[in-house]
Structure 1
C-alpha cells in the first residue's frame, strides 16, 4: 500500500485544509472494522438540502486521484477536488447526544445551515 509521501496521485494537505477529530476517527475505525473495509471516510458535497448544499458521508476503499487527504489515528478523511473548495478549513467530528449520534462538519465557510446540521449555504 502506498503512503501519502510515495503516491503522487494523492494530495497531502496541511491540517488547515481539512481535519478529522479523534472522536470521528475512532467511530470511522469501528464502523470500518464491522464492515470489513479500510478506515477511509469520504466527505463530499452535493447540491440540495434545505440550505443549498448538503454533506454526504461514506466509506471508501481508498483515496481517488486528486483527493485531498487528512489522517488521524490511522483513519483517513478524503475529499474530492470539487468538494474541497466548499469545505476547506473544515473539521469533521463525531458527537453523541440525547438526540442521537452523528458526524458533524464544522465548516468556517458556511454562512448558514439547517437545524439538522447536514446542509449549509455559502
Structure 2
C-alpha cells in the first residue's frame, strides 16, 4: 500500500467532498515536478479513477494514487491537524530526504524532480 489516510484526514475529506457536491467522489493524491526542492504534492477531488490509478479506501474515503507516483508516496501518511491558526493537511513521507522550509516541496533519493525558484 502506498499511502495511509488518517481518520482525521478522512473526516475532513468527506466533509469537503460533501460541501462541494461530490459525496461519491475520490481524493487523488499525486506528485508533480516543481517547488523549491523539486517535487510537490497535489490533492484533488475526482469523479472517477484514471486508467493507471490505484484505488484505496480509508474510513469510507476512496483515494486514488497513480501507479507512477506510488513508489514516491510509499509509506506516506496524510493527516489533518487543527491548531489555533486553523487546520490543514500534513503529509509525512518517509522517502523525502530533503524538503523546503514551507514543507510543500521535497525530493527523494531516487527522484530529484524539477526545482523552481521560490
TM-score if structure 2 supplies the norm length? 0.82
* Aligned counterparts of 2:101 and 2:20: Cα–Cα separation in 1: 30
Distance 2:96 2:58 in 1: 24
1:118 match: 104
Paired with 2:96 and 2:14, the residues of 1 have a C-alpha distance of: 27
CA distance in 1, matches of 2:105, 2:95: 12
**What residue is the counterpart of 2:87 in the other structure?**
101
* Aligned counterparts of 2:41 and 2:35: Cα–Cα separation in 1: 9
- What is the aligned partner in structure 2 of residue 49 from structure 1? 35
Counterpart among 47, 51, 71 of residue 85 in structure 1: 71
Question: Would the aligned equivalents of 1:19 and 1:77 in 2 still touch at CA under 8 Å?
Answer: no
| Inter-partner Cα distance in structure 1 for 2:25 and 2:9 | 11
Gaps of 5+ in 2: 109-118
How many residues align? The count is: 107
Question: Per-residue CA shift, 1:15-49, capped at 9, x if unaligned?
Answer: xx211111110000000000111342111111011
Question: Cα RMSD between the aligned structures?
Answer: 1.4
Q: Post-superposition shift, 1:99?
A: 3.8
**Residue 65, structure 1, aligned to residue 51, structure 2:** yes
State the structure with bigger RCO (CA 8 A, min sep 6), 1 or 2.
2
Please state which structure has a larger fraction of its residues in strand. 2
